[in-house]
Amino acid sequence: MSSKPRRRLAVLACMDTRLDLYAILGLKRGDAHFIRNAGGLASEDAIRSLAASQRLLGTEEVIVLMHDQCGLCGASEDQFAMALAADNALPPWRLGAFESVEQALAASLARLRSAPELTHRDQIRGLVFNPADGSLREPQRVAHA
């Protein structure tokens, strides 16, 4: 089996344990690269991984998969930062909390579509999974940033 995904697909998704990406997207082992982080956000490290996926391993399409009932939705950046600071942890990154999964998805899509590190920015789309009923939806497409 090659390290190059058969479907030339990379998926950026939340690390939530309820997300079985193979089942949700109808994929098999070897079909896609999976990049996971808290929230499925287009962080600097996610862009690094997607750039390697595209430039070194031939992926051409990106799916950003977020979900309803995400732990970052409604979380407090300030409270999280204070808890870290109380333990003398002052990381250069922010939690990435958000109030709306659709707005967070739109922001991540805009960031990826404008990232010069990515060579295939025209085939990036977003999906939202509902863990309560197993449904998958594509929010209304937002204009490119």
CA angle 9, 49, 137 (to 5 degrees): 45
State pLDDT tens for residues 28-76: 999 999 999 999 999 999 999 999 999 999 999 999 999 999 999 999 9
pLDDT at 129: 98
Q: What are phi and psi of 47, to 5 degrees?
A: -65, -40
- Is the pLDDT score of 4 beyond 70? yes
44 Cβ contact partners less than 8 Å away, ≥ 6 residues apart:
none
Sign of the CA dihedral running 13, 91, 103, 51 = negative
- In this prediction the pTM is 0.93
User: For the residues 87-101, what does the mean pLDDT come to?
Assistant: 96
Pick the CATH number of 9-137 from 3.30.1490.20, 3.30.70.120, 2.40.160.40, 3.40.1050.10: 3.40.1050.10
**pLDDT band of 145, cuts 50, 70, 90:** very low
| Cβ 102 vs Cβ 38: under 8 Å | no
> In angstroms, rounded to a whole number, what is the distance separating the alpha carbons of residues 145 and 13?
21
**pLDDT band of 143, cuts 50, 70, 90:** very low
61 exposure class (CB count in 10 Å sphere: 0-12, 13-18, 19+): middle
Residue ranges per structural domain of the chain: 9-137
State pLDDT tens for residues 108-133: 999 999 999 999 999 999 999 999 99
> In angstroms, rounded to a whole number, what is the distance separating the alpha carbons of residues 78 and 95?
9
pLDDT at 141: 62
